[in-house]
Structure 1
Amino acid sequence: MTSAGSAALGSRPPGPRGDRWTGNLMAYEEDRLGFLLGLRERYGAVVAFDDRTTIVNDVDLAHEVLADRQRAFAILGNFRAERVTAHQAGAAVEARAAMGPGLRPAAITHLGPQTSRLIEQAFSGAATGASATLDPIPLLEDVLTRVTYEHYFGADWSTVRPVVGRLLTCLAAVFGSPFALPSFIPTPSRLRIRLAYRAARAAVDPLIETRRRTREADDYVAQLVRTKQLVGASPARVADLVIGSLLAAHRIPALGVAWALLELSHQPRVQHDLAVRSLERESPDAPPPLALATILEAVRLHPPTWILNRTVTRPAVLGQYEFAPGDQLIISPYVIHRDPTVFERPLDFDADRWSQTTATRGFLGFGRGLNICPGQHLGLVTMTYALTAIVRRWRIEPDPADSTALLEDPRSSLVPVHPAIRLEPRRHREPVDATSPSGSVVQAVDRPLTSSTRWENLSQTACLDTPSDFPI
């Protein structure tokens, strides 16, 4: 058992009973985010959603669940929304560990400048004239997926991206839906997923086999299939490992940058400082530390992966409550990020908070623990380079100009309801104004984050979780 307390243990935390027939499900569906926030306010750290589902709102307890040092809390599902056994889940965690070397900072240094170049091309083509209004998400998704897929498959990237993207679209109809039937029931949605998965395998399998047989290719997948952990792995396991990681990279990074742009459209001073600092860098593409702080703060406020699920696999104690195998635990980064005991002024956009190491303690925007995605560095690099490339070339304004609220759609990933922004080209290099109201923000962020150690620390903490944690 884990962390047994000295007080008497209980089997059921407090929580609303809900409707006689539907429990709390209908209230949750009416306003998912508001309902979960209300539960934390009314019932506290651990809340019963129903007889087998518990919501964990305490950050320390959330860490305990996600770290899972006692192997009591697991992700018993794969990226195809199918149930798996605890043994299969453990094997998947071990297999993902093999992905690390080719996704570490030293292996992806070339992806930053490539991202900058493609972002400037894409946005220059879309943002024509003195000003332009556009939805940045399709452009960001197009560029960031290309960079990732090209890293994985080299020149073959364009044959893989469409089929994995189609699989993602089919999965979106099932992930995040409380009304989805079990995977073994052949509903139309499940049949579409199976067909899309077969198409993805048909594209990926021969590329993996070619890289297994020859040493001509030197892309990431070629390196992956030659690692000791995967030399004897079945073709299906390697293919699923690759497809699952590509699904995770397909939409989440684009949403992270989009939320950062939407926040910056209401933060002209931070935007100005980010543009100025980017122009001061020795390398024209290298993002300043403020870019990383902006991404982290945007993801803190609007975590694309806003809910994480774990299944209890053996009798366990969490806080003052006992849990049995089969019980479900829910952790919402969205809720924890809005806890004033975890983040000061939690509803404010404040990039300066990332100059303090304490900010990383409560940050769950990209997961934590055993299921940390080995692609964490790739995600952060591409997001920060993309954001810097845009802000360096264009001023960002909200659309409409008088809009203030950033509305969120949590039906799957946390998506902006109205993601349009207005872009105006920057005419010339803007001078640094050390006395500007935002100067303190830049100085506070730049000083501690310029060291490679701090960048590495933040990168390790703000990491992408597994595809199983992504509600798509």
Structure 2
Amino acid sequence: MAHREKRSWPPGPRGHWLKGNTRAYEADRIGFLRRCHRDYGDVFSYNKHTLFVIDPALTHEALIRTGEAFVTELAPFDTQQDFDLATAHAASWMSDRRAAWPGLNRTAAAATDDLTVAILDTVIADGAGRDVDVLSTMRTLTARMISEYCFGADSAGVPDLLHETVRATRPLAESSHEFPAWLPLPRTRRFFDTSRRLAETLTGKVQMRRAAKPDSHRNDLLGFLLAAEPAPPVNTVASTLHSILMGGHGVPAAALTSLVWELARRPALVADLRSEANGPTDGGTPLAEAVVRETLRLYPPVWLMTRTASRTTTLGDWSLSPGDDVLLNPYLIHRDPRWWPRPDEFDPTRWLNGRPAPGPTYLPFGAGPRVCLGSALTMRQLTLTTSRLASLFTIESPNATSVSLEFIDRLAPTHLKARFLPTG
């Protein structure tokens, strides 16, 4: 698409004459961004059509204006950049979100505590007492949690498809190069095959439930969506469930991996969480919630968000043309000493006693009209899981001090191993 000459464009590294900044960025993504932030400020260019934003106010502006001047990141291989269609899809999704929200709010999330505990106990028991790959274990856990939340007893096959989708998408996230969909690369075929099978499976489950007798509609999210008046189209329900399943799988799994990483290195904190869990039940779990919030601050799973200008517009002092990408970085915002005292220190007490985040600087679930639909459910599941792990297990890790964070797709410590030793 042709781009008009910009009135202004932020400074940034020139990079290689042919490859630009791709090689430097892929060699050390967060290191590259830190250096650019230091050298060029809160807004800097990556190339002539892509800029990074590490300013909280401008980040909020871009998120709030999603659907009006910006669209979310286009799907892999969606190179046509039909922004009218993308904007129409965004408007339709906002309507679908409003319909689904009562099935995902705090009250609905709290009603599934027993389900969360049962799945957690089963998954951890499968590997208790031996070293396990934490991210794989947590993906198994969250895939089952969100699948059963959505489909109840009809969830068979969905967790495995979620795992396959993650594996098929990862090679695309690892590379900054885009290849055309017609190129017969194995990773391209695998991505389209997995996407097709997941879509067909979800559509089939929706159709089967709708065709069943009314009294067979179960107390799960699918049942809630099908009970709406007027009855939504099958493809709308399937699409809504697809978005919730993907968000409710990868983000919580990455967050739980980072939580286990911290707990394995902080036995005193585990002891405090255990005391809280074994204390009066009416006191809630404020420490467990604070631990979750602090983990999401230091290790936001969605560490990088993309918005694409859908029309000629501005963001702060910068002019944008249709197709220009704006990359928003919660990770660096969450660790900026201008907004956070001792920004690189893990300190859950900063969240106790109802302390709020300093201004618009806390973005683990995004912000604006497209803030994560499942944020209440995710916070509930993460807090309950943290409390239960600390109360029932001693967590040991043979490599917690040597692993590092992986800045590719969902942010999490890479190759973390741990064993969960029952305390009873």
TM-score by length of 2: 0.89
Shift of 1:125: 3.7
Number of the residue aligned with 1:370: 369
Return the letter of the residue paired with 1:200.
Answer: L
Shift of 1:360: 6.7
Aligned partners of 2:42 and 2:53 also within 8 Å: yes
Number of the residue aligned with 1:441: none
Return the letter of the residue paired with 2:337.
Answer: P
Aligned partners of 2:142 and 2:252 also within 8 Å: yes
Return the letter of the residue paired with 1:263.
Answer: E
- Pair 1:413 & 2:410 matched: yes
Quote the Cα distance in structure 1 between the aligned partners of 2:365 and 2:413. 18
Decide whether aligned partners of structure 1 residues 275 and 329 sit closer, same or farther in structure 2, where only a CA change above 3 A counts: same
TM-score by length of 1: 0.80
Shift of 1:418: 3.3
Shift of 1:184: 5.6
Number of the residue aligned with 2:187: 189
Aligned partners of 2:60 and 2:360 also within 8 Å: no
Quote the Cα distance in structure 2 between the aligned partners of 1:70 and 1:409. 30
Shift of 1:154: 1.5
Return the letter of the residue paired with 1:335.
Answer: L
Return the letter of the residue paired with 1:110.
Answer: A
Decide whether aligned partners of structure 1 residues 333 and 81 sit closer, same or farther in structure 2, where only a CA change above 3 A counts: farther
Quote the Cα distance in structure 2 between the aligned partners of 1:208 and 1:78. 23
Return the letter of the residue paired with 2:193.
Answer: L
Alignment of 1:326-345 (within 5 A): 326-345=323-342
Aligned partners of 1:59 and 1:336 also within 8 Å: yes
SS in 2 for 1:357: coil
SS in 1 for 2:131: strand
Q: Deviations over 1:421-468 (max 9, x none)?
A: 3444435xxxxxxxxxxxxxxxxxxxxxxxxxxxxxxxxxxxxxxxxx
SS in 2 for 1:49: strand
The alignment's C-alpha RMSD in Å is 2.4
Aligned partners of 1:28 and 1:35 also within 8 Å: yes
SS in 1 for 2:311: coil
Stretch moving more, 133-142 or 295-304 = 133-142
Aligned partners of 2:44 and 2:53 also within 8 Å: yes
- Pair 1:220 & 2:256 matched: no
Decide whether aligned partners of structure 1 residues 23 and 393 sit closer, same or farther in structure 2, where only a CA change above 3 A counts: same
Alignment of 1:198-213 (within 5 A): 198-213=196-211
Alignment of 1:4-403 (within 5 A): 10-68=7-65, 71-78=68-75, 85-128=86-129, 132-183=130-181, 185-213=183-211, 214-215=213-214, 216-218=216-218, 219-228=220-229, 231-233=231-233, 235-282=234-281, 288-355=285-352, 356-359=355-358, 361-400=360-399
Q: Deviations over 1:401-427 (max 9, x none)?
A: xx5355011222213123113444435
Aligned partners of 1:80 and 1:171 also within 8 Å: no
Q: Deviations over 1:186-221 (max 9, x none)?
A: 543222222222222332222211333442212211
Stretch moving more, 96-105 or 114-123 = 114-123
Aligned partners of 2:310 and 2:323 also within 8 Å: yes
Quote the Cα distance in structure 1 between the aligned partners of 2:205 and 2:396. 43
SS in 1 for 2:270: helix
Number of the residue aligned with 1:459: none
Quote the Cα distance in structure 2 between the aligned partners of 1:201 and 1:327. 30
Quote the Cα distance in structure 1 between the aligned partners of 2:295 and 2:166. 24
Shift of 1:64: 0.7
Quote the Cα distance in structure 2 between the aligned partners of 1:69 and 1:77. 13
Decide whether aligned partners of structure 1 residues 362 and 138 sit closer, same or farther in structure 2, where only a CA change above 3 A counts: same
Q: List, as ranges, runs of 4+ consecutive aligned residues in structure 1 with deviation greater than 6 Å.
A: 79-82
Aligned partners of 1:398 and 1:421 also within 8 Å: yes
Aligned partners of 1:81 and 1:175 also within 8 Å: no
Shift of 1:304: 1.5
Quote the Cα distance in structure 2 between the aligned partners of 1:306 and 1:165. 21
Shift of 1:271: 2.0
Quote the Cα distance in structure 2 between the aligned partners of 1:176 and 1:94. 33
Decide whether aligned partners of structure 1 residues 366 and 183 sit closer, same or farther in structure 2, where only a CA change above 3 A counts: farther
Shift of 1:340: 0.8
SS in 1 for 2:335: coil
Number of the residue aligned with 2:3: none
Shift of 1:59: 0.8
Decide whether aligned partners of structure 1 residues 423 and 156 sit closer, same or farther in structure 2, where only a CA change above 3 A counts: closer
Number of the residue aligned with 1:455: none
SS in 2 for 1:101: helix
Return the letter of the residue paired with 2:325.
Answer: Q
Aligned partners of 1:45 and 1:57 also within 8 Å: yes
Q: Which structure 2 residue ranges, 5 or more long, are not aligned?
A: 1-5
Quote the Cα distance in structure 2 between the aligned partners of 1:326 and 1:276. 53
Shift of 1:76: 4.8
Decide whether aligned partners of structure 1 residues 301 and 375 sit closer, same or farther in structure 2, where only a CA change above 3 A counts: same
Aligned partners of 2:257 and 2:412 also within 8 Å: no
Shift of 1:315: 2.2
Quote the Cα distance in structure 1 between the aligned partners of 2:66 and 2:194. 36
Return the letter of the residue paired with 1:105.
Answer: R
Shift of 1:255: 1.5
